[in-house]
A and B are shown apart, each in its own frame.
Chain A
Amino acid sequence: MSQDKTILLNIKNLIIEGYSDEHWIEIVHGIDLTLHRGEVMGLIGESGAGKSTIGLAAMGFTKDGCRIGEGSSIEFDGLELTTTPQSDLQSLRGARIAYVAQSAAASFNPAHKLIDQHTEAPLQYRIQKRLESQEDAMELYERLRLPNPREIGFRYPHQVSGGQLQRAMTAMAMACRPDLIIFDEPTTALDVTTQIEVLSAIRDIVDQFNTAALYITHDLAVVAQMADVIKVLLKGDEVEEADTRSMLENPQDDYTKSLWAVRDFKKDQVPRPTDAAPLISVKNIDASYGDTPVLEDVSFDIFSGMTVAVVGESGSGKSTAARCITGLLPPTKGEILFQGTALPPDYRDRTKDQLRQAQMIYQMADTALNPKVKISEIIGRPAAFYSGLHGPELKNRVDELLDLIELDPSQYYNRYPPELSGGQKQRIGIARSLAAEPTFIICDEVTSALDQLVAEGILRLLDKLQKELNLAYMFITHDLATVRSIADEVVVMQYGKVVEQGPKDVMFKPPHHPYTDLLLSSVPEMDPDWLTTLLEERGVNSNTEVNNP
């Protein structure tokens, strides 16, 4: 793939230590890594595996409270980074090593235009004059297939979409034509449809300039498209390294195999009961934020014991539909029936029992749990509030709920949310909703912030609970793999309208609505040729494509 096989980055025995509780604790235990010019290496692993830390260390940088341990060696193009003074490292970063962060929205300064931020590094290192650099930026924008490449740079970060911003960030990283780019989960925050555009743009530009890259992600299917070599990490240790094809076809280690097998979970599809009435019935609702209409004539039914997945890109109105059902956003038209009776549109007018019946699990467990309240109280409060439990009864109930979500009560009873991992927090969120003894739970992207292994655990748990407690789920997601594993029925939404709905087996079989088709075909697959094939297929009738110069 690359013409020039000299070694660019050679990391030997990398040890990184973090400072906590007045001790230095080793978080990366002696990683070796060799990257050739023009090569793309995928670093994968769960959160806490140390992949981002290693990515930063490749620039000779550690976060506050971390340090590179004794005996580590990071050699970049013949230069030993661990002993290079800060000032020299700084002139290396940006010019020869660039970094693309997960959230482009947070990494751009909102007060400056894109192109001014783009030209900053070339101007500072006196590589180009301002006008030259602007011209170069426009060319890069064009290569990354941004719309209006000549004008888009003069916009502010909030004026372009998330996918465009991520591409502008990649262009910015390219500004000085670095030898090495570190991509830290660049597409994790994007929809599947946007992700494809960013992935293909990144791949092309890395190819064209023969840039080496470290591609950090927890999504295997994505890394299969991007990387020449894959390195699997677990808790700061290397599990195995191999080139992409052999890694995918023949993983050696058990851990790697478990990562590969994640997408195997599939629950048995439950058919709609013929005799019963729906538990929740959304009837022709319209809703708007101020004067902007967001939902138009949305209707669907949810039956007891069934999971309805609501799918769509961001901005398709799937979360808004959930807000209408919970009563946070009263619909402007239409009604929501619960067991045949209409719910008051505003949650403040609903009775305690109506509120109890419908619970919600949130996407970000970090913001969904009060960090200053103990687990016992987070879970205990709904139980106390609705059922009036207190004293030993309440404690028993909390223990029971913790058992239900497979966390040991004696260990977690008195802890605070920040002490837990992402998956554990999400479990606490589930326990909180169960404490109210609901019949219906809205799951708003509950797994999208989690690693695949952890996410699978959550899905299995939700499935188990559904069978035990006969719960109905409304499962909001943009990830079709999740839909495949957990849904009974699927509702596809676009621009605030329901495009298509039906049982899962029917929905996943052609013929599809064109939008469903686009969503389905955009889900990355484990095949390393998937992206190439897909782009070729789409290239025929796609007009967003700009010919490469």
Chain B
Amino acid sequence: MNYFIIGFYALLIGVSSLAAFYQKRTAFLLLFSLTLVSFVMGIVGGEAMLWSVTILAGLIAFSAGVSFSFREFLVILLPEDYAKEMRTAPLTAGFGLFIIFTYAISGIFAPIIAPYGEAEVISSAFAPADENMLLGADQLGRDMFSRIIYGARNTVGLALLATILAFAMGATAGLYAAAVGGKLDQLLGRIVDVIMSIPSLIFSLLLLSIFGTNTVTLIIVIAIIYAPRVFRLARSVGGNVVVMDYIEAAKLRGEGNWYLIRKEILPNSTAPLIAEFGLEFCFVFLLVAGLSFLGLGIQPPTADWGSMVRENATLISFGEITPLIPAGAIALLTVAVNFVVDWMLYRSSGLKE
């Protein structure tokens, strides 16, 4: 028995007793079950296991604290209308926003933040981390940390552009199909069916090998692959809106289709479309990373998280976590975006009002 173990259990039991005393039901249940679970874990895993539990709990508490402060920060900073929304936002949304904010900052200010250039070779291959290189070097001796920072700019930027383009195409076509209906609706719908029937990764590999890989082609190809999903959503949401009386009133006024889409249908379809934007962004992001991993995405020496995983994959067999860092960056962003999307879905689902 050392002091750590004694302190560990004493703290847990003490805090859960406090929670029970102050009638905090959920907190007590959580803490006390954690106490019971750590008895078992302590017996099975020993002191090391308890340490990892402590670190994990600390991490969770830390990120909860960060999300809370970030949310309060936004509440104070934003104008009244948005501040009200933020105040009722769950902590997960605050966390998601914080992560997205961090990624955005590191992407925008990459050249200032990164200590070295993304293609700069500064040491030997696979050099371990030291005071110059926070995360060590990659297979060519480039600084891993700098490349992660630049990767935020390249990978995220590309995914964002591709998603915006996919939405511009899909939403316009979908709302137009909903507003006009008839043969055009059928035609667009069937084209979309054809595109969706081909597995996206294979289809993008095919298109990229035909048209070659440069950034512009990459964005267009991804946009074409993802636009059909947006089309379907926009068409079905729009379909619910076009049957409303105010659309009929506008039609009887003699308004054109473009006005109908822009002024009458789109404002009433934004909530689900924004939520879908978040989800699609994650998918596009994963596709970009996947394509890079296969060597058809962003081309070297430009830093990109997907290709960084592939290039450093060999290190896994030596017990190094370096290749997992870009993978973790991808995972963290996906989780963050989904947290924010969940919050938006909750808001748009009308559960609140």
Contacts and interface: CB of A to CB of B under 8 A. Distances in A.
A128 to B, nearest CB: 36
B183 interface: no
Interface stretch (A80-88, A189-197, A361-369, A513-521): A361-369
Interface in A341-367: 347, 350, 352, 355, 359-360, 362, 364, 367
A384 to B, nearest CB: 11
Contacts of A362: 245, 249
Contacts of B40: none
Contacts of A432: 249
Interface stretch (B43-51, B150-158, B214-222, B262-270): B262-270
A328 B245 CA distance: 12
Interface in A133-170: none
Nearest to B270: A372
Interface stretch (B124-132, B252-260, B286-294): B252-260
Interface string A366-380: 011111110000000
Contacts of B245: 362, 364, 367-368
Contacts of A350: 254
B37 interface: no
Tell me the interface secondary structure of chain B in the complex.
helix
Nearest to B351: A64
Nearest to B243: A367
A370 to B, nearest CB: 5
B252 A370 contact: no
B246 interface: yes
Given A355-B253, A362-B245, A370 B267 contact: yes
B252 A326 contact: yes
B252 A369 contact: no
B347 to A, nearest CB: 14
Interface centre among B244, B253, B267, B353 (most CB of A within 10 A): B253
A186 interface: no
A142 B88 CA distance: 52
Contacts of B255: 385
A355 B252 CA distance: 7
Contact of B268 (A22, A65, A355, A370): A370
Contact of B246 (A22, A327, A368, A385): A368
A359 B254 CA distance: 12
A373 B248 contact: no
Contacts of A370: 244, 246, 263-264, 267-268
B246 A328 contact: no
A373 B252 contact: no
Q: Which of A347, A360, A372 has the most CB of B within 10 A?
A: A372
B267 A360 contact: no
Interface in B231-249: 244-246, 248-249
B27 to A, nearest CB: 22
Contact of A347 (B252, B264, B353): B252
A21 B255 CA distance: 37
B24 interface: no
Interface residues of A, number: 28
B190 interface: no
Nearest to B265: A370
A422 interface: no
B87 interface: yes
A64 B251 CA distance: 37
Interface in A289-329: 326-328
Q: Which of B87, B244, B255, B351 has the most A CB atoms < 10 Å from its CB?
A: B244
Nearest to A21: B84
A30 interface: no
A364 B245 CA distance: 8
A524 interface: no
B25 to A, nearest CB: 15
A496 interface: no
A382 interface: yes
Contacts of B248: 328, 360
Nearest to A378: B246
Contacts of A371: 268
Nearest to A353: B254
Contacts of B88: 22
Nearest to A64: B351
A436 interface: yes
Given A22-B84, A370-B264, A373-B263, A436 B253 contact: yes
Interface in B310-353: 351, 353
Given A362-B245, A364-B245, A370-B246, A385 B267 contact: no
The 7 closest A-B pairs by CB, nearest first: A372-B267, A368-B245, A362-B245, A370-B246, A367-B245, A355-B254, A367-B244
15 contacts: A22-B88, A327-B252, A347-B251, A355-B252, A355-B254, A360-B252, A367-B246, A369-B246, A370-B244, A370-B264, A372-B267, A372-B268, A373-B263, A382-B253, A385-B254
Given A22-B87, A369-B246, 20 more contacts: A22-B84, A328-B248, A328-B252, A347-B252, A347-B254, A350-B254, A355-B254, A360-B248, A360-B249, A362-B249, A364-B245, A368-B244, A368-B246, A368-B249, A370-B246, A370-B264, A370-B268, A385-B253, A432-B249, A436-B253
Interface of B: 84, 87-88, 244-246, 248-249, 251-255, 263-264, 267-268, 351, 353
Interface of A: 21-22, 64-65, 326-328, 347, 350, 352, 355, 359-360, 362, 364, 367-373, 381-382, 385-386, 432, 436
